[in-house]
A and B are shown apart, each in its own frame.
Chain A
Amino acid sequence: MENTQQTESKIIELKPFADEMVVNMGPQHPSTHGVLRLELRLDGEVVREAIPHIGYLHRCFEKHSENLSYPQIIPFTDRMDYVAAMNQNWGFCLAVEKLMAADESKEFEVPERAEYLRVLICELNRIASHLLSFGTYGMDIGAFTPFLYAFRDRERLLLLFEKVCGARLTYNYVRIGGVSEIIPIEPGSIAEQNYLDEIEAFLDYFEPMIDEYNELLTKNSIFTERTTGVAVMSAEMALSYGATGPNLRGSGVDWDLRRDEPYSIYDRFEFDVPVAADVPELGAVVGDCWSRYKIRMDEMKQSVRIVRQILAEGLPDGPVMADLKAVRPPQGEIYFRSEAPRGELGFYIVSDGTPKPVRVKGRSPCFSALSALQELSHGLMVADIIAIIGSIDIVMGEVDR
């Protein structure tokens, strides 16, 4: 009798997870930020394993690029991270420009005015991107109202973008050798002054709003309960997974390409790089969901600072486009990385000297961050999975490309 009992108990021990439930979260799910599919193995509410399945938004960006000339590729980069399309345009253009610079016979320089416009618009785009991240994160945690506040402010930014490039989502604004001239803003004209005034009015309105959002959501005790101490990504882990941008800084690594490898004219501006620290009053530890989220809130302030410096200096005179006969980079290859709102956006381009690239590879910050999800989510609850996805702030268009 005793023997049978022992064997029975052993059998039960051998199958500890016999009642696991496999749930497909996504690709159609309200809070997987697009078409991410997570295969969850649940033990009640506890997640034993969360396996991300990606590729539902794969549009062959890289293969398409091999059949297109360089300027034609820029609209495709719009569709990678469609929330921060300006920064994607810029990242690609920077890579091509650097590749072209290798050929000394066709020397060109991006005009000063274009550089200022690029920084101005891309920093505003960073604010728009972080606003969306803030709003949707609130919604993921269950607070619906911040989402609409964020979209109210983002709307004003989109109107600003519309005024320079005519589009609200896929801008195609930053071009190789400068910025788009489709809607020309003459240097020193009333239109330019109005536009800059409009940006300033927005910043004056928006800067106090960040503090209001912090009061509304960041320091809300239910919100901190849900996000602090959840899914802690240590600095080593963040580095080993290749997490970049706010996710890396949220893990306490002080690294920002705009400051540490300054490209364009970032070395002329003064700004701080927010890095996560323990906040014992709220229970936040470095690397948790709250830290990653808070970095974005602080980065918006820094972007406002940069834009204010540009407004104070005023846009320089001159053309916005370099005098380029044709975009035909010399034979060679290049990897160039820039700091997009979601992290290090890299483009690897191989050129054989023809107008079309041989190979284009995008290094997506979201893809690297998403790969950490499986390790982060182990042993947490279903609600925490949502908190993690929101805090690493993925855009599936960029993950799948």
Chain B
Amino acid sequence: MSDFRAMFTGFTDFNASEGFFPNINLQEKLNWAEEFVQNVLIPRLPEAVAAHFPVELGTVLVMFAFAGIFVAVVPLLPLVLVLAERKVAARFQNRTGPMRVGPWGTLQTLADGIKLIFKEDFIPPQGDRFLFLLAPYVIFACSFAVFAAIPFGQNILVSDFNIGIFYIMAISSVIVMGVIMAGWSSNSKWSLLGSLRSAAQIVSYEIPLGLSILTVVMLVESLSMTEIVASQSNGIFSWLIFRTPFTFIAFFIFFISAIAEVNRTPFDLPEAESEIVAGFHTEYSGMRFALFFIAEYANMFAVSAIAVTLFLGGWEGALPGYDILGGFPGFVIKTLALVFLMMWLRWTLPRLRVDQLMNLCWKYFIPIAFFNILGTGIWGLIFEEDSVWSIGISCAIIYIGLISAYMIAGRVMAQKPEPQPNSV
């Protein structure tokens, strides 16, 4: 760990120099647990105890307590998201969705969870028993470990790694191991096909994903999630998505690749129901299946949260000095907006084919992502530090780009006649 720290000290020091953005004192933020003990806990204790209260021990206990709350609360996210997905899907399809369990069906996922716990836990007799049992845990653990590095609010994060985003990339790529294990150990051909598709897909899309993260890291000059957020603290135009035109493109590459990473439509080939039944988790039942399901939704939230942290200001607000879209509620709102976007896409678009998926990644995303890195580097050379000028020019370029893209698209659409077969 110390090696890593040494590697990235240079970056953090550089960022702390006087620039457009204010200094961040990391130490201050990490001492919140101690502050909590000093300012909140001790005044409330009886005087006799308070005088001899071991502050260090208290700090550790408070940290554990908060970590416990975090670990307990985060798995509840998928419960909410599953219900949200069903309700969103229902609204897209002129239905009402689950309505029976609880008011407006709000307890439906709970009921489903209880049902899944009591279901038979089927293990294929011809399969690899050990791997079959292990796979759901690998996926589940990895998708939840990602949450450790996501800053939900100013002080609401489990651990402020100095290599935060690197850690997230590393952990989330282990998920594919679980998928392959599940597919292989099931002794089912559909599972195998699904897991191989998944392996190819996740490994491929990790490249544009990583490259588009790199543009952010180049601008912030740090891998720490808190520092990435802190560098976006000057309102909406300091958000990294608007900082340069290249990060604007990088955001879209990141988001689309993220959809592919979490296997959602139009990239849901590993679990394409109409092609390979249920993909890698065809043979799973009961709670083991539920683990895959929970992990999928946790992943969905995690990648959205990462996208918000990297590009949309994290928990920083839209206006400097005001708490609009800022803090923990702002972060959750922005993340849920991206989650909703994913659901929207899922219930609108068809699915790509394997070769088209690979084409999209290798022929379009990776070259564009490399171009982005080059562009970000040149941008960094021209505008040595972010100023009103650089952000103004960037926003102007983005605006002009969007308008021209819209006009070109409109012209193309106008030229495209209504496809009508010959009628005789």
The residues of A with any CB-CB pair to B shorter than 8 Å are 21, 23, 29-31, 42, 44-45, 138-145, 148-149, 152, 216-220, 222-223, 225-226, 254, 272-277, 279, 281-282, 284, 291, 294-295, 298, 381-384, 386
Q: How far is the CA of A284 from the CA of B421 in the complex (A)?
A: 11
Q: Closest Cβ of chain A: how far from B419's Cβ, in Å?
A: 4
Q: A149-B94, A281-B419 are known contacts. Are A222 and B275 too (CB-CB below 8 A)?
A: no
Extra contacts besides A138-B350, A148-B94 (10): CB < 8 Å: A45-B193, A142-B272, A142-B274, A143-B351, A144-B347, A145-B93, A152-B94, A226-B353, A298-B420, A381-B355
Contact A282 B419 (CB under 8 A): yes
- Does B276 sit at the interface, judged by CB under 8 A? yes
Give me the 6 closest cross-chain CB pairs, A-B, nearest first.
A142-B351, A272-B423, A31-B274, A148-B93, A143-B350, A141-B350
Residues of A within 8 A of B419 (CB): 218-219, 279, 281-282, 284, 294
Kindly identify which residue among B268, B274, B352 contacts A30, using a CB–CB cutoff of 8 Å. B274
Q: How far is the CA of A223 from the CA of B350 in the complex (A)?
A: 6
Contact A381 B273 (CB under 8 A): no
Contact A381 B354 (CB under 8 A): yes
Contact A145 B274 (CB under 8 A): no
- Does B245 sit at the interface, judged by CB under 8 A? no
Residues of A within 8 A of B129 (CB): none
Q: Of residues 385 to 424 in B, which have CB atoms within 8 Å of A's CB atoms?
A: 416-417, 419-424
Listed A/B pairs (21) with beta-carbon separation below 8 Å = A23-B190, A29-B277, A30-B277, A141-B274, A142-B349, A142-B351, A143-B348, A143-B350, A144-B93, A149-B94, A218-B419, A222-B349, A222-B350, A222-B351, A223-B350, A275-B421, A277-B422, A282-B419, A294-B419, A383-B353, A386-B274
Q: Of residues 271 to 310 in B, which have CB atoms within 8 Å of A's CB atoms?
A: 272-277
Q: How far is the CA of A31 from the CA of B273 in the complex (A)?
A: 8
Q: Closest Cβ of chain B: how far from A146's Cβ, in Å?
A: 9
- Does B29 sit at the interface, judged by CB under 8 A? no
Q: Which residue of B lies closest to A22 (CB)?
A: B189
Total interface residues in chain B, CB < 8 Å: 38
Q: Closest Cβ of chain A: how far from B265's Cβ, in Å?
A: 6
Q: How far is the CA of A144 from the CA of B352 in the complex (A)?
A: 14
Kindly identify which residue among A44, A140, A282 contacts B274, using a CB–CB cutoff of 8 Å. A140
Q: How far is the CA of A325 from the CA of B378 in the complex (A)?
A: 93
Contact B92 A145 (CB under 8 A): yes
Q: A138-B350, A223-B350, A382-B193 are known contacts. Are A276 and B421 too (CB-CB below 8 A)?
A: yes
Q: Which residue of B lies closest to A282 (CB)?
A: B419
Q: Closest Cβ of chain A: how far from B394's Cβ, in Å?
A: 29
Residues of A within 8 A of B265 (CB): 142-143
Contact A383 B275 (CB under 8 A): yes
Residues of A within 8 A of B363 (CB): none
Q: Of residues 339 to 361 in B, which have CB atoms within 8 Å of A's CB atoms?
A: 347-356
Contact A225 B352 (CB under 8 A): yes
Contact B421 A295 (CB under 8 A): yes
Q: A149-B93, A383-B353 are known contacts. Are A274 and B421 too (CB-CB below 8 A)?
A: yes
Q: How far is the CA of A298 from the CA of B418 in the complex (A)?
A: 12
Q: Which residue of B lies closest to A31 (CB)?
A: B274
Kindly identify which residue among A219, A222, A275, A291 contacts B352, using a CB–CB cutoff of 8 Å. A222
Q: How far is the CA of A45 from the CA of B92 in the complex (A)?
A: 32
